[in-house]
């Protein structure tokens, strides 16, 4: 009943679907988008990998003659851009899971599917590269079923279509399928409400200043208003559509570029719209107290800290690098991002980290100013820059491991229960015991455990089994000598361990 009342309201309109294309790194996402919008982003990407998120509006005439609009998000495929893909799935209404007819399901295909499921949005499957000589649709279908992607015609209800993103084969059918899927979702929005949505990209444009791409999920945005995201705001003076054309108004599911932010807003954050700058400043002031407490999220630690300063070409790439850092786990060092910003590496950045040992400056898609290079050499600050994310990932893991302090770790190899205490001579106890698990070796250090509490330590001496001296025991009863200054009694457990440097 509630839905019917909403649909009857004169200010509620059908909202075009926001579509995200997800899948493995080289299964054709960018080529598909190129074909759909008749442009080319692949050639301009380092290493041929899409590394920024953008949005595009396309118009499609269905096979029934209806004119429909669809907004496409372009999400990078590399694993490091997981947050960007999750954000894309979260913003989107419908997803396309693209799979190569040559390769079938890959690990990143499944990762993309998890993002889609987490966002709880419907999806369709596009089996791409059907024009290739090695294309095998039946094998690809079997691969999908094997990974519990139950497509239509194979015992499931997930719609699919075979396409060639390169040749354009099957693209109209795919778009028809997306329109149908969106219609079933009954997407609507209030065109008279103030615009709300999400920031899908943000960067510092050398010529125009702070810019951001916004995706409007509800309401309308008009020139003269003010958009607010966190502590950032921008008067809507320069507003452009996805093609760069200046516009005065934007509405449901439209991506827009806004120029003139006081600061670069956080990618993935929501935005709201207010009437003017005064209201924007008031709204930001109301949330300032919460922002002040944000620093408390970085808990104090007694571990050695590896400080990292990140400089990147766009805000979304900073997220990707932070994702790589999140994957690094250690109980011996703590990684802290002391600063991150869009732009080239400067001498000020080097000065910023120079007072801290082990600091690293990581740059992605940016240059290092000559003054920064000279200062870094003098102050012994490490700067590394990259253009391909997987090269950065490999380097980062090695760099952090090299800064991890070495330590000795006790690795338990076996446990035995003390059955009888025969005698004691000075600090040497003659005992009989039974192997409970693993293996105990002559000369190993042992812990003495009584009722789950460690009560002492010692060293194994002179192991005997079946009246023979042995170097190790791994089953049954055996005799032993344990050299220890602590007491040891029947019923105690001894844990034999090796000290391993890690």
Residue 384 forms beta bridges with which residues?
Answer: 362
Q: Which of the four pLDDT bands, split at 50, 70 and 90, describes residue 374?
A: confident
- 108 C-beta neighbours (distance < 10 Å), count: 19
Give the contacts of 16 (CB within 8 A, at least 6 positions apart): 57, 68, 69, 70, 71, 182, 187, 252, 253
Whether pLDDT at 51 is above 70: no
E-strand stretches of 275-364: 305-312, 334-342, 360-364
Q: Are 94 and 182 in contact (CB under 8 A)?
A: yes
Residue 190 forms beta bridges with which residues?
Answer: 12
- At 1 the pLDDT is 36
SS (H, E, C) 382-451: EEEEECCHHHHHHHHHHHHHHCCCCCEEEEEEEEEEEEEEEEEECCEEEEEEEEEEECEECCCEEEEEEC
3-state secondary structure of 257: strand
- At 7 the pLDDT is 39
Give the residue-averaged pLDDT of 424-450.
94
Whether pLDDT at 332 is above 70: yes
SS (H, E, C) 354-375: CCCCCCEEEEECCCECHHHHHH
3-state secondary structure of 380: coil
Q: Are 343 and 366 in contact (CB under 8 A)?
A: yes
- At 214 the pLDDT is 94
- Give the pLDDT confidence of 212-248 residue by residue, as tens digits: 999 999 999 999 999 999 889 999 999 998 888 899 9
Q: For helices 315-326 and 389-402, what crossing angle results, to 10°?
A: 40
- At 326 the pLDDT is 80
Whether pLDDT at 127 is above 50: yes
Q: Is the dihedral of CA 340, 78, 108, 32 positive or negative?
A: positive
- Give the pLDDT confidence of 72-99 residue by residue, as tens digits: 987 665 555 566 666 666 788 999 999 9
Whether pLDDT at 42 is above 80: no
What's the mean per-residue pLDDT of the chain? 85
- At 56 the pLDDT is 84
The owner of tokens 């457990």 is: 493
Domains detected in the chain: 10-187 (3.40.50.300), 191-288 (2.40.30.10), 302-402 (3.40.50.10050), 408-501 (2.40.30.10)
Give the residue-averaged pLDDT of 339-360.
82
- At 39 the pLDDT is 45
Query: CA 31 to CA 167: how far, in whole Å?
Result: 10
In terms of Cα–Cα distance, which of 221, 201, 211, 220 is closest to 88? 201
Give the residue-averaged pLDDT of 388-400.
81
- Give the pLDDT confidence of 252-311 residue by residue, as tens digits: 999 999 999 999 998 888 899 999 999 999 888 876 654 454 344 445 667 777 888 999
Give the residue-averaged pLDDT of 163-192.
92
Q: Which of the four pLDDT bands, split at 50, 70 and 90, describes residue 416?
A: very high
Is the pLDDT higher at 29 or at 16?
A: 16
Is the pLDDT higher at 9 or at 375?
A: 375
- At 85 the pLDDT is 63
Whether pLDDT at 145 is above 70: yes
Residue 355 forms beta bridges with which residues?
Answer: none
Whether pLDDT at 189 is above 50: yes
What pairing do the DSSP bridges indicate for beta strands 54-61 and 249-250?
A: unpaired
- At 290 the pLDDT is 44
148's tokens: 């519990």
Whether pLDDT at 40 is above 50: no
Quote the pTM value. Answer: 0.61
Which long-range contacts link 43-51 to residues 24+ away (Cβ below 8 Å)?
46/365, 46/387, 46/388, 47/387, 47/388, 49/25, 49/76, 49/77, 49/78, 49/388, 49/389, 50/74, 50/75, 50/76, 50/77, 51/76, 51/78, 51/81, 51/317, 51/320, 51/365, 51/389
Query: CA 113 to CA 347: how far, in whole Å?
Result: 43
Q: Which of the four pLDDT bands, split at 50, 70 and 90, describes residue 170?
A: very high
Whether pLDDT at 366 is above 60: yes
- Which range among 340-349, 365-374, 476-485 has the greatest average pLDDT? 476-485
Q: Are 105 and 147 in contact (CB under 8 A)?
A: yes
The angle at the Cα of 71, spanning 189 to 224, to the nearest 5 degrees, equals: 60
Give the residue-averaged pLDDT of 20-47.
72
- Give the pLDDT confidence of 333-346 residue by residue, as tens digits: 778 888 888 999 98
Whether pLDDT at 9 is above 70: no
- At 46 the pLDDT is 53
Percentage of residues of the chain with pLDDT beyond 70: 88
71's tokens: 């907004």
Whether pLDDT at 410 is above 60: yes
């Amino acid at each position: 009943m509630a839905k019917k009342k909403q649909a009857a309201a004169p200010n509620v309109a059908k909202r075009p679907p926001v579509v995200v294309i997800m899948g493995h790194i080289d299964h054709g996402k960018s080529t598909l988008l190129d074909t759909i919008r008749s442009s080319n982003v692949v050639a301009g990407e380092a290493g041929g990998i899409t590394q920024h998120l953008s949005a595009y509006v396309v118009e499609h005439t269905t096979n029934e003659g209806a004119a429909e609009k669809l907004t496409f998000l372009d999400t990078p495929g590399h694993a490091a851009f997981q947050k960007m893909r999750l954000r894309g799935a979260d913003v989107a209404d419908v997803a396309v899971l693209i799979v190569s007819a040559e390769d079938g399901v890959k690990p990143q295909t499944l990762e993309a599917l998890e993002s889609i499921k987490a966002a709880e949005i419907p999806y369709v499957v596009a089996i791409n590269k059907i024009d290739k000589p090695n294309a095998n649709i039946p094998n690809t279908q079997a691969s999908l079923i094997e990974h519990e992607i139950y497509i239509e015609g194979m015992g499931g209800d997930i719609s699919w279509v075979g396409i060639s993103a390169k040749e354009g084969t099957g693209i109209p059918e795919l778009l028809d399928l997306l329109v149908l899927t969106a219609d079933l979702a009954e997407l609507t929005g209030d065109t008279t409400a103030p615009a709300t949505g999400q920031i899908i990209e943000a960067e510092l444009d050398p010529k125009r200043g702070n810019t951001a791409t916004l995706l409007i999920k509800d309401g309308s945005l008009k020139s003269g208003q003010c958009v607010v995201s966190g502590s950032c705001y921008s008067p809507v003076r320069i507003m452009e559509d996805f093609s760069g054309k200046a516009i005065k108004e934007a509405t449901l599911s439209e991506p827009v570029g806004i120029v003139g932010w006081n600061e670069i807003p956080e990618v993935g954050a929501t935005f709201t719209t207010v009437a003017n700058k005064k209201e924007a400043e008031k709204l930001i002031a109301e949330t300032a107290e919460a922002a002040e407490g944000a620093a408390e999220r970085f808990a104090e630690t007694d571990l050695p800290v590896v400080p990292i300063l990140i400089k990147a070409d766009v805000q979304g790439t900073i997220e990707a690098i932070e994702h790589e850092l999140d994957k690094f786990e250690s109980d011996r060092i703590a990684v802290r991002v002391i600063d991150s910003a869009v732009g080239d590496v400067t001498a000020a950045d080097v000065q910023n980290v120079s007072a801290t040992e082990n600091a690293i400056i990581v740059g992605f898609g940016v240059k290092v100013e000559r003054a920064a290079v000279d200062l870094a050499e003098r102050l012994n600050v490490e700067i590394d820059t990259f253009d391909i994310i997987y090269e950065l990932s490999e380097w980062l893991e090695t760099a952090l491991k090299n800064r991890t302090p070495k330590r000795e770790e006790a690795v338990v190899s076996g446990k035995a229960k003390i059955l009888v205490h025969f005698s004691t001579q000075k600090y040497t106890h003659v005992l009989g015991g039974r192997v409970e698990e693993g293996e105990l070796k002559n000369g190993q250090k042992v812990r003495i455990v009584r009722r789950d509490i460690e009560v002492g330590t010692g060293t194994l001496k002179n192991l005997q089994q079946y009246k023979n001296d042995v170097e190790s025991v791994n089953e049954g009863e055996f005799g032993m000598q344990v050299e220890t200054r602590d007491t040891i009694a029947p019923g105690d457990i001894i844990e034999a361990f090796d000290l391993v440097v890690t």
